Amino acid sequence: MSHTDDSLQGDELASQLKSSVVFKGEHSVRDASLKLPPEDMVWWRDAKFGMFLHWGLYAIPARGEWLMHNEQIPADEYAKLADEFAPRHFDAAAWADAAKAAGMKYMVLTARHHDGFALWDSPASFGGFCSARTAARRDFVAEYVAACRAAGLAVGLYYSPMDWRFPGYFQPRELPEDAALLKQQGYGQVEELVSRYGPIDVLWYDGGWLAHQGTDADAAWFWEPLKLNAMVRAHQPHCVINPRSGWEGDFQCDEGGHEVTGPILDEPWEKCLNLNRPSWGYNQRDDLMTAQEVVRMLVNVVGRGGNVLLNVGPDADGVIPPAHVDVLRQVGDWLAVNGQAIHGTRPGPLQPVEGRYCVTHRGDRLYVLVLDWGTERQVVLPALDRAVVSAAILSGGAVICQPQGRGVLLTRDGERAAAGYPSVVELVLDSGL
């Protein structure tokens, strides 16, 4: 666990502990007929890096998106925040610009989080609790979708079936009528999101469990995720769906800022984490990852076959804090030079070595993403079944490439890598992998 998780408490802490260990959705309900064929996943696997956005009423108090539950704020009290929620500087194009500057290829916005407040005009919302019918009087989802498309970014929407406003969420068996209203709202709102805004590239569920207990799969009796996602597929045959509705989904999820270790994983997967560690939603406290930390995370994830969905929390006015945008820009600067080792690649064929390097490839190019050259300034690769034609460091500087046993010895020769960033050795092979 990272030090920042010390600030979490109660159910929120439990949710993170659970989620940081294994893939969410691993034990979920299976139904291969709902899964996208591999060719529909290619864009997503190529994309590697996306922007997660947690934004809603919780940006006003700025103590994280769990405050309603953590601070036991009654629903009608919490709902008063909607009277104040009238962002002065919301500009989805600015969000998209920040994502592009970071080298990201897709975005995922919390259309509705656990507090129940919808960022669009939602007739299915219980009590009309949405931005189009309260102070803001705007359909932020519509503006966001348009901005993503205009910027050439894939469009993702996050939706939480659970809603703390419903006592039936906490006692589904004891309060079946209230729970039925929650479910009806969930189906209605998901249908709105997938039928009103044109093609949705990613649908990202969260909180497909009940009473914060067990797994999403344990709650499948209630949500009937196969039925829910069959409805989604009818509207959006090519949408990439995450596993957190209780159905296994098109990819696996790993959550949290802990370091990624271990071998290459075969199935598509995504790590989501916070740029500002204290919470997903805007927080008055700043504890930002550095650009170097983000890049190392990206290397470690992409080198194991995953994508990184990096979260930012815009403030109550809709602005991503400038210091956060600045880190994103620095990550983008690294990707501008080294992105060919990330975007559009596949991991391997060599397994990552913890703390030292990861390997990706595309065609006849093999990329060794070196995290640490060691005191000898050398990296030894195991045998490759291709000959190396040439070697270069993408950021400039020389590297000597020599056979060593059946493997390959790379020696860094005077490269001046920017401090703390991985450097990338590009090997041109005599034929494609």
d(CA 204, CA 184): 19
Q: Which of 149, 155, 64, 42 is nearest to 115 (CA)?
A: 64
The amino acid occupying position 141 is V
Calculate ∠ Cα 33-38-41, nearest 5°. Answer: 105
Enclosing H/E stretch for 347 = strand 346-347
Token code pair at residue 369? 């993403």
Sheet holding 49-53, edge to edge: 240-241, 202-205, 154-159, 106-112, 49-53, 306-312, 269-274, 252-255
What minimum distance in Å lies between the beta carbon of 2 and ligand GLC?
Answer: 14
What residues contact 262, with CB distance under 8 A and at least 6 apart? Answer: 304
20 or 292, CB closer to ligand GLC? 20
What minimum distance in Å lies between the beta carbon of 115 and ligand GLC?
Answer: 10
Total residue count of the chain as it appears in this document:
433
273 or 358, CB closer to ligand GLC? 273
26 or 413, CB closer to ligand GLC? 26
Enclosing H/E stretch for 13 = helix 10-21
254 or 315, CB closer to ligand GLC? 254
239 or 272, CB closer to ligand GLC? 272
272 or 341, CB closer to ligand GLC? 272
163 or 206, CB closer to ligand GLC? 206
Q: Which of 122, 119, 161 is nearest to 144 (CA)?
A: 119
What minimum distance in Å lies between the beta carbon of 388 and ligand GLC?
Answer: 41
Calculate ∠ Cα 293-335-148, nearest 5°. Answer: 100
What minimum distance in Å lies between the beta carbon of 112 and ligand GLC?
Answer: 11
What minimum distance in Å lies between the beta carbon of 372 and ligand GLC?
Answer: 30
What minimum distance in Å lies between the beta carbon of 98 and ligand GLC?
Answer: 19
What minimum distance in Å lies between the beta carbon of 3 and ligand GLC?
Answer: 18
Residue 178, CB-side half-sphere exposure with 13 Å CA sphere? 14
What minimum distance in Å lies between the beta carbon of 20 and ligand GLC?
Answer: 10
d(CA 378, CA 314): 42
Give contact residues for ligand GLC (rule: CB under 6 A).
Answer: 15, 54, 65-66, 206, 255, 272, 280
360 near 345, Cβ under 8 Å?
yes
129 or 280, CB closer to ligand GLC? 280
The amino acid occupying position 240 is V
Q: Could you say which DSSP state residue 433 is in?
A: -
